[in-house]
Amino acid sequence: MARRTGSDGARTREAIRAAARRLIARVGYEAVSMRRLAEEVGVGAAALYRYFPTKQAILFDLLRTHMDDLLTAWGAARPPETGPPPDRLDAFARFHIRYHLDRPDSLFLSYMELRSLDAANFTVIEDLRRSYEYEIAEIIAAGIANDDFRPQDPRVTARALIAMLNGLPVWYRDGGTLDRTDVEKLYISMVAGLAGTAAKPEHQETACFTPA
């Protein structure tokens, strides 16, 4: 059977993506066979090759698409660079948390399956990742220059911050004792503390007498 109503190529392609994302996130790229993936889609294994030339191409498509979408979404949500760095950092953290709580499998793949990419594909994804990391490092640097944040290495802080935030979707599940609003609040305050925002405006300059 072919081209039956409501099941065109584009739809099948997206079904493959979704099944691959789910399966690979659960058991890993190497542990998912093309036959198993095809079964999940409801199709013969050979059919997959109409949409992706190799198994590797499926993984690369997932990672590449995820990083592209992430960067595009941040480009749209990003506050102006002229704003106060603490606010910019806050906006970033909220964006990152919300975006990835909606896409835990993609986040998982992006970090666990990098090593399953061949050299050329790896370079592409790593560059995209670096450009995302740079966005945060720039905010941190601006905050340090502005005396909003504790002096520190912006790139190291950016990495630490991302690592911390990425840990959230690993354990968070909807329907637990904490909902998304709760965990967002908790992580936002940890982000601020990690960067060193806390001490300045209220506690140090307005709650204390400044002797000069």
Contact set with DNA (CB under 7 A) = 1-5, 7-9, 12, 32-36, 38, 43-47, 49-50, 53-56
Applying CB under 8 A, which of residues 9, 102, 199, 201 lies at the interface with a copy of itself? 199
**Stretch near a copy of itself under the rule CB under 8 A, chosen from 13-21, 46-54, 118-126, 160-168:** 160-168
Among positive and negative, which fits the CA dihedral 140, 142, 148, 151? positive
CA distance 46 to 49: 6
Residue numbers 17-76 binding a copy of itself by CB under 8 A: 26-31
- CA distances to 63, 84, 129 from 139, rounded to whole Å, are 25, 9, 16
CA distance 108 to 21: 9
Applying CB under 8 A, which of residues 91, 160, 180, 184 lies at the interface with a copy of itself? 160
Residue with tokens 């709760």: 182
If contact means CB under 5 to 8 A according to the sort of partner, which of a copy of itself, DNA, none does residue 116 touch?
a copy of itself
Note whether 12 binds a copy of itself by CB under 8 A: no
Torsion angle of the four alpha carbons 91, 93, 98, 99, in this order, in degrees rounded to the nearest 10: 100
Note whether 183 binds a copy of itself by CB under 8 A: yes
If contact means CB under 5 to 8 A according to the sort of partner, which of a copy of itself, DNA, none does residue 196 touch?
a copy of itself
Smallest distance, a copy of itself to C-beta of residue 123, A: 16
Among positive and negative, which fits the CA dihedral 198, 200, 201, 202? positive
